[in-house]
Amino acid sequence: MLPSLGYGILVITLLVLIYSVAVAIYGEVKKSAAMVESARRAMLLALPLITVASAILIYLLINDRYDVEYVWSVTNRSMPMYLKITAWWGGQPGSLLFWSWLLSSFTSAVTLRKWDRDRELLPWVLVVTGITLAFFISLNVFFENPFKLVPAGVSIPLDGRGLNPLLRHPGMIIHPPAQYLGFVAFTIPFAFAIAALITGRTDDRWIRITRRWTLWAWLFLSLGLVLGMRWAYDVLGWGGYWGWDPVEIAALMPWLTGTAFLHSVMIQEKRGMLKHWNMILIILTFDLVIFGTFLTRSGVLSSVHAFAQSEIGPLFFVFIVFIFVASFALLIHRWVDLKSETEMKSMLSREALFLLNNLLFLSILVVSFWGVMFPLISELFTGSKVTVGPPFYERATGPLWGALMLLMGVAPLSAWGHSTIKTLGRSIWKPAVAALIAPIWALIAGITNWVALIGFTLIALVITVSIREFWRGAQARSKRSGESFFSELWKLIKRNRRRYGGYIIHISMVLMGIGIIGIELFQSDTQQHLGIGDQVELAGYTVQYDRLDQFRHEDGRFITRGEMSLSKDGKDLGTLAPRYDLYPDGQPMTIPAVRSTLVDDVYIILVNWEGITAESTPFKVYHNPLVKWVWIGGYVFIAGIIIAAWRDEEEEKI
Amino acid sequence: MKNSKFIIGGLFILAAVVYLIASSTQASAEYFMTIEEVREQESEIVGKSLRISGAVLGDTIDYDPDTLTITFTVAHVTGDNDEIEANGGLALVLYNAVREEGTPRLDVVYNGPMPDLLQNEAQAIMTGYIDADGLFYADELLLKCPTKYEEAVPDQSEG
């Protein structure tokens, strides 16, 4: 009964959406405000409908209704309540429904805004979001029904299959929703961009309306990436966090264009330039969001993320091509109207450096896209299947990331409109000299790797330049007003959230850079078989194997747990307990033990294999220098973006 | 004239990116081959960087405790997704590859921690090279057990 009701609601939702899109277009053509209003109200129905459908699914999940295939496939009786609820997005059909629910929430929020000044955009925003939402709901209705029952004649299973244990991790519970939020939220700026193109509004209104949407979308997209990295580091047990897996790249690609977009919209707002470029970037970002979803769900690529082979692949492909062709056709149609209001003159001006930053992000995009597509292209033309691995991406994107860091150091000092080497040189030499402390310090510490030395110099440059901007701004204000430095610093940030939030984000990025340089260039590891009492040495640390426990946990897991004491130069640094859990269904899980400091991580894995004994237990020990800075950078990043995206008090309500 | 410096700058960036992509592709391209193809061209591809996918034969997994060296045999599976689908999906293709005696096989040597998913009928995706001794030395080993991620409906899961 309930499953049929859930499915019925999804069908009704789809019909409502089709109605909304059709009536919005018809109303616009007939210039009937009443019809557009009807379309708007129909759109507002989507959220309650999808919410009810989702509530039914969650009810089925927490009540162990194994007559529903989806419930059977992602939960079992032994799972705690919170995991049963989060199983909502634990498999293909449910996560598609979750995606639709998020999108309908965002769409409702947009639909409810005050449209006074932008009435003409409304019908087209409804059309774009409505089509996107209808596409995702139709996937649920026609192909991936979350309410599908086990076939008639088959006895109802007594227990479910449960969630893959690798996914039973707090990071894995937040990572998908964060990633989805980031993906889905980009629909809104895209919808406004298309509405602006259709109506021929060539000003930057669409950018101003969606500015904060874009920032929040970007926050969640970035958060999703960092959480995914953290999960890989904590759970997958291979000593790293980023493997240039095609799906990781699929999530990185919209991040790259989105980041470029965030920067280049500022040029349009300030100088009325790069209008075509901003359109191209938002179209690409949205299309890459759908492409990323397609890659994870269609089974075209082998990856740890791949869902089962699914029928929805071709449909996704059609949708991606449709977005691409329709959007670019519109853009070409409006090409002449989107002329720049000013011309770019100086190569070192702020706007030119922003453009360069955009080109670098796009270059990284091209490299990534090439890496993913190269196997297909090569097979098409030479017949032999060739692929490229992480070394390709590291080698090809390394110099580009480096150039971006240099820009983060230089661009804040350049002037809008016109800048020369002389003016730029005058403002940069002091921070540049200060930044030299970093490589000198590194040299004294014995680091001679030149890539690392350049990297550290650039990182130090970005940090000094950014902090100096805060200091100069607050100092000048405090001199003028006579108030204290810190209260002026507070006001300074409050008055220019985007600018100073942006600097904090720059700092966070290079802090992550410290960690990335550390693990990429200086990671070391060793594998050994140890008996109780044996020791292993790595990078100055001594790891002693103290004891081994093997027992069955009350939830059925069989746990093998080693205890190691860690010391350096004779100083005791505590106990580490790497674990190996074998789940009742035969799925094993390696849980590394990590001692993390600002300088380095010691990361120990119990490398289980049959017949593990106290006399001979295999361990792998990694020494990961500086990796903690990746996570520190992540926290600073969140702080920075919240500052940048917070609503300004004086800002008009949008 | 005013625009020429931007055009030159743009061309310079374009050239740099093309160079980066071309040289990095050259330096790190791996040839994706099936085990059948490897067996056919064995002598020509010695030392070349390869990426191979195959079905793990559980009985052959052997592990040297002193050196942490893992050796196992993989059986040929097709690299064509459509063919896999036509033959009943990845799980079934892997199952059949392991069971049938006639499928081409390849012995693999891997040095590293024992991966959780290295088990009978797992799909091993490996990068490495064939040496003159005919063994495949894997530098990287990715494993996928299709049944662990999404299974068929309950009545079909057996068999």
Concatenate the DSSP letters of all residues of B29-59 into one string: EEEEE-HHHHHHTTTTTTT--EEEEEEE-GG
Supply the ipTM of this predicted assembly.
0.78
Q: Answer yes or no: are the C-beta atoms of A393 and B29 closer than 8 Å.
A: no
Does A477 contact B at CB distance below 8 Å? Answer: no
Nearest to A367 among B21, B32, B81 (CB): B21
What residue of A is the nearest CA neighbor of B53? A302
Residues of A in contact with B148 (CB under 8 A): 164, 587
Q: List chain B residues with CB under 8 Å of A299.
A: 81
Per-residue model confidence (pLDDT) at position A637: 93
Report the phi/psi class of residue A613: left, alpha or beta, with left for phi > 0 and alpha for psi in -120 to 50: beta
What confidence tens digit (pLDDT) does each residue in B129-151 have? 888 888 999 988 887 766 433 43
Q: What is the pLDDT of residues B14-62, one digit of tens each?
A: 999 999 988 888 888 878 788 888 888 877 788 888 888 889 998 899 8
CB contact under 8 A, A396 and B65: no
H or E segment to which residue B69 belongs: strand B69-76
What is the CA A243 to chain-centroid distance, rounded? Answer: 15
CB contact under 8 A, B20 and A590: no
Nearest to A388 among B28, B140, B155 (CB): B28
Q: Does B140 contact chain A (CB < 8 Å)? A: yes
Q: Could you report the average pLDDT of every consecutive run of 10 residues in chain A (654 residues)?
A: 93 96 93 92 95 96 91 86 87 90 94 85 94 95 91 81 73 82 94 93 86 90 89 79 85 94 89 88 94 71 47 84 94 87 80 91 94 80 76 92 93 83 84 90 89 94 93 89 87 88 94 93 86 90 92 85 92 91 78 91 80 78 93 93 78 46
pLDDT: is B158 or A492 the higher one? A492
Instruction: Report which secondary-structure segment, H or E, holds A600.
Output: strand A600-606
In a domain, B116, yes or no: yes
Report the CATH number at residue B63. Answer: 2.40.50.140
Q: What is the pLDDT of residue B152?
A: 35
pLDDT, position B151: 38
Q: How far is CA A24 from CA A19, A39, A43, A111, A190, in A?
A: 8, 5, 10, 13, 18
Angle between helix A497-522 and helix A390-410 axes, rounded to 10 deg: 140
- pLDDT, residue A604, reads 93
CB spacing of B146 vs A618 below 8 angstroms: no
Which domain covers residue B35, as residue numbers? 29-156
CB contacts, 8 Å: A363 with chain B: 13, 17, 20
Whether B142 is in a domain gets the answer: yes
Query: Could you give the number of structural domains in chain B?
Result: 1
CB contact under 8 A, B90 and A309: yes
Q: Given pLDDT bands bounded at 50, 70 and 90, which one contains residue B2?
A: low
Cβ separation A605–B113 shorter than 8 A: yes
Contacts of B81 in chain A (CB under 8 A): 299-300, 309
B53 in contact with A at a CB cutoff of 8 Å?
yes
Contact: A308, B149; criterion CB under 8 Å: yes
**Mind listing the pLDDT tens digit for each residue in B92-122?**
888 888 888 888 899 999 987 777 678 888 8
> Which residues in chain B touch residue A389, judged by CB atoms under 8 angstroms apart?
28, 30, 51, 127, 140
Structure tokens, A12 = 């009704």
Q: Which residue of A has its CA nearest to B147?
A: A308
Residue A211 — left, alpha, or beta (φ > 0 → left; ψ -120 to 50 → alpha)? Answer: alpha
Question: Nearest-CA neighbor of B149 among A585, A78, A189?
Answer: A585
* Residue B17 maps to a domain: no
